[in-house]
Amino acid sequence: MIRVGILGATGYTALELIKILLRHPDVEITTLTSRQEGNPHVAAIHPQLTGRLDLHLEESPPETVAARCDCVFSCLPHAASASLIMKMLESDVRVIDFSADYRLRDAETYEQWYGSKHPDPNRLGKVVYGLPELFRDQIPGAQLVANPGCYTSTSILALAPFLKKGIIETDDIIVDAKGGVSGAGRSPKLTTLYPECNESITAYSVGRHRHTPEIDQILKLATDCDVQVLFTPHLVPMDRGILCTIYARPIGQRGEDDWLDIARDFYEQSPFVRVIGHLPATKDVAGSNYFDMTVRVSRGRAIILACTDNLIKGASGVAVQNFNLMHGFDETTALL
């Protein structure tokens, strides 16, 4: 059995992660951490886990967590995550980080987009990006994996086959993204209160969303193409899900079936990617680790449509994919 710990176990992604790991035949959850006072039982924080996991949340130093665990999932916020992870990596424990702390390649870009100095800058550029569909061969040997963001996963997976094939222009890509309220996390915020977001849709972080450099960087790493993506997210009054409508200018003439065949060939060995003929919908992937995509061609544009569950394929599900690859299990274990 692999002993597992979860840092920052109070949020939505931590809940989904626990539910998946409870189905995993080779996992024992040994440690849950939080800064909440009183060491509450996990069922008091996540009532869905009543009778399923008998652990209390605790505030323990990273050395203590590392000593109890073979693998740690960090669901902590940016900067706070790296501060603890860098200490745990002094041991043999393996870590999957949900924050953005190790996704970007250099400290200057991180500081520009996240507004703080990086706690562990020397490790940047050396950490495997945890998107198995693109970096599967690098993940098994990694001690630390940077779990991707939800918008980034959806955008990158949608674009990678066509950039790799060289059939879309690299400097004219528009990502119009819609995401559910759970993507903003569980901590109360004015914009995600029910009276503020219900029966309304709004764009946010226009032209300055933190996922923009991550999308550009990983697409360059995966396809060797210098891209400039114009990324605009929108908050939609639904619990979960992401739908990206991506506009790209094609190179050459191809029918829609040709585009779909290219994507199917690219993802032939990826069990969670579904290249479909019909239009994808967030309900079709809700609660699952699937990524659905299709393509339409109209008025000189390729229109790529893709959707994921932001809490599963966009966070906890892909984290377990990474965990499985790191520990020699079938990639789909506990996810189908």
- Structure confidence by residue, pLDDT tens digits, 167-182: 999 999 999 999 999 9
- The predicted-structure confidence for 66-120, as pLDDT tens digits, reads as follows 999 999 999 999 989 999 999 999 999 999 999 999 999 999 999 999 999 999 9
* CA 66 – CA 314 distance, rounded (Å): 26
Domains of the chain and CATH, by start:
2-126 (3.40.50.720), 151-309 (3.30.360.10)
C-alpha closest to that of 120 among 144, 141, 137: 144
- 3-state DSSP of 228-256: CEEEEEEECCCCCCEEEEEEEEECCCCCH
What is the C-alpha separation between 291 and 297, in angstroms, rounded? 20
Query: Dihedral, CA atoms, 245, 290, 215, 310, nearest 10 degrees?
Result: 80
β-pairing verdict for 144-146 and 128-129: parallel
The predicted pLDDT at position 70 comes to 98
pLDDT, one tens digit per residue, over 284-298 is 999 999 999 999 999
C-alpha to C-alpha distance for 324 and 317, rounded to whole angstroms: 11
- Of 150, 225, 244, 307, which residue is the catalytic one? 150
Q: Is the pLDDT of residue 273 over 80?
A: yes
Helices 256-266, 150-165: inter-axial angle, 10-degree rounding = 110
- Whole-number pLDDT of residue 189: 85
Q: Is 150 a catalytic residue?
A: yes
pTM: 0.96
Average pLDDT of the chain to the nearest whole number? 96
Which helix (H) or strand (E) is 258 found in, with range?
helix 256-266
Please tell me the least confidently modeled range out of 48-57, 180-189, 246-255: 180-189
Tokens found for residue 156: 């990158």
Task: Give the pLDDT of residue 190.
Answer: 87
